């Protein structure tokens, strides 16, 4: 499979727990994006990386959220002390710098109970 893969597909966690999601982009894509989508809304930008550098973070990304892309390949998104409002679909996408051909992964659906 040469697309963007995300793991896990679903995560149910108790409020206050930490969770970590992983995204493996298309191998030749040097840009990697995280978006969040809540019910009835379109996806909203969270952050993006160019290679291993995190170049922008949305104000939606509170201090409880951290993202890394240590070797410029896969990325992780960690949420600490989860809240019910964090329940959403977390989407990862990748692209080339020169183009805007985004490819989205299937997403990780988080439910905080």
Partner 1 sequence: RKEVEQDPGPFNVPEGATVAFNCTYSNSASQSFFWYRQDCRKEPKLLMSVYSSGNEDGRFTAQLNRASQYISLLIRDSKLSDSATYLCVGLSRGGGNKLTFGTGTQLKVEL
Q: Which residues bind partner 1 (CB under 8 A)?
A: 31, 33, 35, 40-45, 48, 50, 55-56, 89, 91, 95, 100-102, 104-107, 109
Q: In this structure, how many other beta carbons lie within 10 angstroms of the beta carbon of residue 26? A: 18
Nearer to partner 1, 30 or 80 (CB): 30
Nearer to partner 1, 8 or 16 (CB): 8
Compute the distance between CA of residue 55 and CA of residue 32 in angstroms, rounded to an integer. Answer: 10
Q: Mind giving me the DSSP string for 80-91? A: SS--GGG-EEEE
Q: In this structure, how many other beta carbons lie within 10 angstroms of the beta carbon of residue 6? A: 23
């Amino acid at each position: 499979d040469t697309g963007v893969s995300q793991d896990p597909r679903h995560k149910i966690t108790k409020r206050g727990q930490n969770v970590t999601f992983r995204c493996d982009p298309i191998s030749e894509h040097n840009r990697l994006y995280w978006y969040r989508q809540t019910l009835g809304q379109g996806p909203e930008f969270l952050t993006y990386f160019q290679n291993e550098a995190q170049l922008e973070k949305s104000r939606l990304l509170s201090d409880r959220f951290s993202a890394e892309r240590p070797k410029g390949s896969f990325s992780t998104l960690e949420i600490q002390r989860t809240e019910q409002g964090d329940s959403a679909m977390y989407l990862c996408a990748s692209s080339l710098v020169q183009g805007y051909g985004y490819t989205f992964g299937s997403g990780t659906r988080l439910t905080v109970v």
